[in-house]
Amino acid sequence: MAIETMPLSGSIGAEVKGVDLVQLGDAGFSGIHRALLDHAVLCFRDQELTPDQQLAFAKRWGDIHLHPYLDGLPDCPEIIEIVKEAGERNRFGDHWHTDQIFTPLPAMATMLYAKEVPAAGGDTMFASLTHAYDALSDGMKELACRLRTYNLYDKQAPRSRQMAAKIPDQDKPAAPAIHPLVRVHPETGRRGLYLNEMQTTRRFDGMTEEESRPLIEYLLRHATRPEFTCRIRWEVGTLAIWDNRCLMHLALDDYPDHRRVMHRITLKGDATIGVDQTDIAA
């Protein structure tokens, strides 16, 4: 079923019009699935969802990915409540990242539902890793296709008081995960860069941090060029879903005097697939 979309920028993102996610039929859902592959991030305005209804919509996409280090809501553990109080810094997701790259099977998609937002500020920005890969030179593409990243969750990173309290075993070390730097999207077949800022993507596998830093920093600068991005301005009742297999995102920390509360669900993903080494120049 064709659904009505309004692009959020010239490269990625779309707002979906006229959909009530609670009433959505199978044809409507498959139109939304197609739109997510086309636009990488979608938002829906004016949704009225209880935690159970948000979870029911999430389950239409597949199994839920439970965060390995962060606790969910006591009566709905699949939902992580992201809270920043007035007067605090928002330290949750305030750097470019793709969700759960620090696990062997990173989250396929993330769904975020706005419960309480400032009148202005607190937007989320998105950057297309597919457009970023496509715009590299052939030489850099070849090099990138041969590299793998070493990723580790930083349990000690500064967080708002409520978010820090959701990490039960702060002192227990996190386990690293290795992924290809160029990931082949399992549904579209398109290649994209796949990395986070260095608080998670610490280095390339088999290299030191010092050796890795110049190239990681270059690729992050390149991937977040304004023409590869879009942003969502939240309203209470906005739900967004984004494809972590081809995007990074960043939560803007520009609303010091306001509270913001979001309900987040992540969806289970597959093992990451790199470019077949015999096929790199394709």
The residues assigned a catalytic role are 97, 99, 249, 264
Does 245 engage in binding with ligand SIN (CB under 6 A)?
no
Task: State in angstroms the smallest separation of the CB of 90 from ligand SIN.
Answer: 7
Burial class (CB in 10 A: 0-12, 13-18, 19+), 280: middle
For residues 31 and 249, the answer to whether their CB atoms sit within 8 Å is no
For 144-207, the DSSP string reads HHH-EEEE---TTS---HHHHTT-S-TTSPPPPEEEESEEE-TTT--EEE----TTTEEEETTS
User: Segment 71-90, which members bind ligand SIN (CB under 6 A)?
Assistant: 82
Which residue in 98, 230, 264, 267 binds ligand SIN (CB under 6 A)? 264
Which residue in 127, 147, 246, 262 binds ligand SIN (CB under 6 A)? 262
Nearer to ligand SIN, 183 or 263 (CB): 263
Q: Of 92-100, 179-187, 196-204, 212-220, which part binds ligand SIN (CB under 6 A)?
A: 92-100
Tokens 């890969």 found at: 133
Does 93 engage in binding with ligand SIN (CB under 6 A)?
yes
DSSP, collapsed to helix, strand or coil, labels residue 54 as helix
Nearer to ligand SIN, 99 or 274 (CB): 99
77's tokens: 């553990």
Does 64 engage in binding with ligand SIN (CB under 6 A)?
no
Does 251 engage in binding with ligand SIN (CB under 6 A)?
yes
Q: Of 19-27, 91-99, 154-162, 213-221, which part binds ligand SIN (CB under 6 A)?
A: 91-99
State the amino acid at position 258 in one-letter form.
H
Helix%, strand%, coil% for the chain, nearest 5: 20, 25, 50
Task: State in angstroms the smallest separation of the CB of 138 from ligand SIN.
Answer: 33
For residues 92 and 82, the answer to whether their CB atoms sit within 8 Å is yes
User: Segment 113-152, which members bind ligand SIN (CB under 6 A)?
Assistant: 124
Nearer to ligand SIN, 33 or 91 (CB): 91
Report the C-alpha gap between 199 and 250 in whole angstroms: 13
Give the Cα-Cα-Cα angle 245, 251, 257 (nearest 5 degrees).
165
Nearer to ligand SIN, 35 or 112 (CB): 112
Task: State in angstroms the smallest separation of the CB of 87 from ligand SIN.
Answer: 18
| Interacting residues with ligand SIN (CB under 6 A) | 82, 92-93, 99, 110, 112, 124, 249, 251, 262, 264
